[in-house]
Amino acid sequence: MNNKSYFFQEILAKNPVLVGTIGLCPVVAICTTLKAAVIMSAITLVTLVVAQLITSLLLRYLPQWVRLGLYTLVGMIVVVPAMLLVDRFSPETMLALGIYLPLLAVNPLVVRNCEREAIDSTLGQSIFTSFSAGLGYSAVLIAVGIIREIIGSGEIWGYKVPLVKPAEAFRMPMGGFIVIAFLAAALRVYFRKIDPEFADELIENSRTNIKGSNKAKLALRGAKYADGSSAAPKQPKQKKVKQKKQKPAKPQKAPATRTAEPAPVPASVTAQKEKPAFEVMTLEEAEELRSANLPPVETTVQAELAPPTAEDPIIVQPEVPASQKTSRFEFVTLDLSSTAKDREDAERFAAAVAATKEKQPQRQIRNKRGQERQARPVSKETKEGDDV
Amino acid sequence: MKLVAAFFAAFVYVCFTQNLVLTGGYGASEVIRSAARPKQIILFSIMIAYFSTVTSLICRVVLFIPAIKNSSTIISLAVYSGILTAVYFVSVLILKVLLGKSDWSDIEIEKFFRQTAVSAFNTIVLAIPFITERATYGVHEAIAQGLGAGVAFLLATALVHLGMRKLEENTEAPINFRGTPALFMYIAILCLAFSGIMGKSLFF
């Protein structure tokens, strides 16, 4: 993909209105004519670039709460001269735009763009992104202006369009919403032709956006967001605690009473167990987990080491739901030392394991000697000695 | 009594008859964004009501100065933007003092201030002083307008949220209309309904 088509794709794929649902007020309220749309586009584009420039050079060094307050003043710096120009050259347009023109000073598109791009990017990058965002916004404004002027007034730039009966409704916000709905759908049709995967992603992102689930949004692949931006999410960093991988189920040598009398699990742990599986837990949660009465390590080890025999009772474990299979509280159910009988069993198993461990080194030494003997060159003396 | 009646008339007019969001399109993107986060709807609406009421009141009081009253829209924009920014900074400074003593973590405070800024610098908030000026409302009506803006925002957000939930369940929509385009269509129908209340002619 060459630079030209990349820029074009950037304008469409990250479109603030059709993908990001931002800056809708001017689109649905004022863009009823092509002339108004062109004026609004020019002002928005200049505001975006100037705000980005000022943010990159000055505002990025200020705290966020101060910065957010100053964007309105930055917007005003651009909008006031623009209003003077429009008032001078086209007073009737100034009247038609009414109070919507001054409201461009608080365009959320400016704030969003500056906060996402100007703070972390270089000056050149931020200017490029603001320019592409502004062009994307302007394209939608002009398209909406043309369609609404034709359908709503039966004209285009003041000239009558034949065979069109004007529908007043299209000059109201209702018409604006209908037009951008069709434009958003058309954008998806276009992307479905050139990149079906991205079209699906767009649909999935917008559906997730509607659900409002941040967790689901974060789970979406890549850095694409509902608004199509690729900026890194500014979220509080959580310290990750690696979760113990679940081992495949092994046959346990344990009496039936162990499964019949499960260990009493603390109420807090039981409550959390009902939650869906977690992959990440905070340090506080880890501490809480540690403070819960967990089984002694030996007990767990012996349950795994004990080989099954034919006499062992077959224990049918209840089927674990898929959502709980990766739960971090899973090993709490292996607590085998809750009752006195269980503890006795546990001690017996521990003794058996200790005995096995003691035997192991001797076996290893024996095996080692055997290997050495085989590797040694066979001499007469040794052969004789061995025979002895 | 006249003042109370005028207050409620202005309030009802802004909330229901001329819902600023659904008939004027003010704050449309904020409505969609906050409707997607149902837990924050009430808080966000309260913040908008607060900023629009305080800003509207101060701007109305400032309009008693003849030089400002007779000035052009450009001067009004400068004055109103300045007042809104000042209200924001004062509010944030007060909140900083109050939240500094609370148990909130720095991340929570930062997030709260972000929401505060979004609710303050909003077309619906800045539009209220302009509407008050153009309609030559009094002080009590300016307060009603500010409060009404918050309630109008809440009403619009609740309606959009309900629609979002229904649209999410709908699997019969054409694939390219699922999500945002369907939502835009739904809001268009809501706008149509509120325009009907205003008695506007829709076709021809």
What integer pLDDT is reported at residue A253 of this predicted model? 45
* Residue written as token pair 């006249």: B2
Nearest by CB to B25, from A25, A71, A87: name it: A25
- Quick: pLDDT tens for B75-89: 999 999 999 999 999
Please name the amino acid found at residue A201: E
- Quick: pLDDT tens for A76-88: 988 999 999 988 8
All residues of chain B having their beta carbon less than 8 Å from the beta carbon of residue A209 are 36, 179-180
Distances (CA, A) of A14 to A51, A130, A214, A226, A334: 19, 11, 20, 9, 51
Is the pLDDT reported for residue A323 higher than 70? Answer: no
A224 within some domain = no
Confidence of residue A287 (pLDDT cuts 50, 70, 90): low
A209 within some domain = yes
In chain A, positions 74-133, which contact chain B (CB-CB < 8 Å)? Answer: 75-76, 79-80, 83-84, 87, 99, 101-103, 105-108, 111
Confidence of residue B127 (pLDDT cuts 50, 70, 90): very high
A225 within some domain = no
Cα Rg of chain A, angstroms: 35
A23 and A147, same domain (yes or no):
yes
A282 and A337, same domain (yes or no):
yes
Distance CA B132, CA B146 (A): 9
Q: Which domain holds residue A146?
A: 3-219
Contact with chain A for residue B174, Cβ under 8 A: yes
Average pLDDT over residues A304-325: 52
Contact with chain B for residue A16, Cβ under 8 A: no
A57 and A127, same domain (yes or no):
yes
A343 within some domain = yes
Question: Is the ipTM, as predicted for this complex, more than 0.90?
Answer: yes
What integer pLDDT is reported at residue A380 of this predicted model? 41
A305 and A201, same domain (yes or no):
no
Spatial CB neighbours of B129, under 8 Å, sequence gap ≥ 6: B55, B56, B59, B60, B76, B80, B83, B142
A142 within some domain = yes
Nearest by CB to B202, from A18, A105, A168: name it: A168
All residues of chain B having their beta carbon less than 8 Å from the beta carbon of residue A177 are 184-185, 187-188, 191
What integer pLDDT is reported at residue B88 of this predicted model? 95
What integer pLDDT is reported at residue A220 of this predicted model? 38
> For chain A, how many structural domains are there in total?
2
- Quick: pLDDT tens for B93-102: 999 998 888 8
A247 and A177, same domain (yes or no):
no
A44 within some domain = yes
Nearest by CB to B181, from A64, A185, A211: name it: A185
Helix and strand totals (H; E) in chain B: 10, 0
Spatial CB neighbours of A161, under 8 Å, sequence gap ≥ 6: A150, A154, A155
Minimum Cα–Cα distance from B171: chain A residue: A207
A107 and A207, same domain (yes or no):
yes
A86 and A213, same domain (yes or no):
yes
Contact with chain B for residue A25, Cβ under 8 A: yes
Is the pLDDT reported for residue A282 higher than 60? Answer: no
What integer pLDDT is reported at residue B7 of this predicted model? 85
Average pLDDT over residues A204-226: 48
* Residue written as token pair 């290997």: A371
Is the pLDDT reported for residue A50 higher than 60? Answer: yes
A189 and A94, same domain (yes or no):
yes
Confidence of residue B149 (pLDDT cuts 50, 70, 90): very high
Closest CA to A43 of A93, A83, A12, A98: A83
A80 within some domain = yes
Confidence of residue B190 (pLDDT cuts 50, 70, 90): very high
What integer pLDDT is reported at residue A328 of this predicted model? 37
CA B172 to chain centre: 33
Confidence of residue A276 (pLDDT cuts 50, 70, 90): very low
In chain A, positions 150-169, which contact chain B (CB-CB < 8 Å)? Answer: 165-169
A269 and A169, same domain (yes or no):
no
Minimum Cα–Cα distance from A191: chain B residue: B176
∠ CA A212-A213-A215, nearest 5°, is 155
Confidence of residue A159 (pLDDT cuts 50, 70, 90): confident
Is the pLDDT reported for residue A5 higher than 70? Answer: no
- Taken in order A47, A53, A56, A57, the sign of the CA dihedral is negative
What integer pLDDT is reported at residue A118 of this predicted model? 78
All residues of chain A having their beta carbon less than 8 Å from the beta carbon of residue B171 are none
Which of A98-102, B150-154, B197-201 has the highest mean predicted lDDT (pLDDT)? B150-154
Distance from CA of B1 to the nearest CA of A (A): 32
A315 and A387, same domain (yes or no):
yes
Distance from CA of A155 to the nearest CA of B (A): 14
Distance from CA of A5 to the nearest CA of B (A): 23
Contact B176 A192 (CB under 8 A): yes
∠ CA A285-A286-A292, nearest 5°, is 90
A303 and A199, same domain (yes or no):
no
Is the pLDDT reported for residue B155 higher than 90? Answer: yes
DSSP string, B100-166: HTSS--HHHHHHHHHHHHHHHS-HHHHHHHHHHHHTT--HHHHHHHHHHHHHHHHHHHHHHHHHHHH
All residues of chain B having their beta carbon less than 8 Å from the beta carbon of residue A22 are 29
A66 and A102, same domain (yes or no):
yes
Is the pLDDT reported for residue A143 higher than 60? Answer: yes
Comparison of pLDDT for A267 and A348, the residue scoring more: A348
Which of A114-128, A309-323, A360-374, B24-38 has the highest mean predicted lDDT (pLDDT)? B24-38
